[in-house]
């Protein structure tokens, strides 16, 4: 094993087939220089299947196949397994999985949590789900060695909430392939420089006002 080892918990797995968090983690582990660290990505077997990748180590943890419990249970079992591996750094994704962010610290691992959004604001969560996610928020604020936010608004929110530094690391993307707008103009009547593309869910917490 490399002298420095990083594990990722909270995503469905890699390679990504859908999901923003999955794409986020995949883009990161592809870019971590092999001479710097080994990366270990926890996956759900039914999501990844038999697909193998050569840019990160895929680890598999069980999960409860029940609505609302799959992500939480997979994060729990992943965090417990991380204790066995004694990773140098464990990187949790989102507030739900962060509920278990204190577990890897048992074996001396440093813990980082990336906050992608205030998940309890999502309409799909009921009262119990929101309470669990808020508990993950509290656990992150009191156990994580570092907090990362993907927006400046989230950075300000968490620095005010927990009185500790929150690192703003915007989500990057690969250099785009520039194509002419002939087809989009033909199909939708859109002209260059006169439209805005918002590629996301149309839900209140995304702030697409």
Domains delineated in the chain:
5-177 (3.40.50.2000)
pLDDT class for 1, splitting at 50, 70, 90? Answer: low
Q: How far is CA 47 from the centre of its chain?
A: 16
Collapsed DSSP state (helix, strand, coil) of residue 169: coil
pLDDT value at position 141?
94
Name the pairing type of β-strands 166-168 and 146-149.
parallel
What does the alpha-carbon distance between residue 102 and residue 140 come to, in Å, rounded to a whole number? 8
178 or 102, greater pLDDT: 102
What does the alpha-carbon distance between residue 18 and residue 13 come to, in Å, rounded to a whole number? 10
182 or 25, greater pLDDT: 25
Give the pTM: 0.85
pLDDT value at position 127?
86
What does the alpha-carbon distance between residue 98 and residue 92 come to, in Å, rounded to a whole number? 6
Does residue 76 carry a pLDDT above 80? Answer: yes
Residue 20, number of CB atoms within 10 A of its CB: 16
pLDDT value at position 119?
81
φ/ψ bin of 207: left (φ > 0), alpha (ψ from -120 to 50), beta (otherwise) = left
């Amino acid at each position: 094993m490399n002298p420095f080892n990083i594990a990722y918990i909270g995503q469905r797995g890699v390679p990504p087939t859908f999901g923003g968090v999955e794409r986020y983690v995949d883009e990161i582990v592809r870019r971590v220089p092999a001479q710097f660290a080994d990366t270990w990505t926890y996956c759900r077997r039914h999501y990844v299947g038999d697909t193998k990748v050569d840019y990160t180590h895929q680890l598999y943890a069980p999960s409860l196949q029940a609505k609302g419990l799959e992500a939480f249970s997979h994060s729990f079992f992943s965090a417990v397994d991380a204790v066995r591996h004694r990773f140098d750094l464990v990187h949790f994704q989102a507030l739900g999985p962060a509920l278990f962010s204190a577990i890897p610290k048992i074996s001396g691992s440093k813990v980082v949590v990336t906050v992608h959004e205030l998940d309890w604001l999502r309409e799909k969560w009921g009262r119990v789900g929101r309470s669990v996610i808020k508990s993950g928020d509290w656990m992150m604020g009191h156990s994580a060695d570092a907090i990362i936010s993907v927006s400046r608004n989230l950075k300000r929110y968490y620095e005010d909430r927990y009185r500790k530094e929150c690192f703003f690391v915007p989500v990057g993307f690969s250099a785009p392939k520039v194509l002419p707008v002939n087809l989009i103009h033909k199909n939708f009547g859109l002209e260059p420089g006169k439209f805005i593309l918002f590629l996301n869910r149309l839900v209140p917490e995304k702030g697409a006002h």
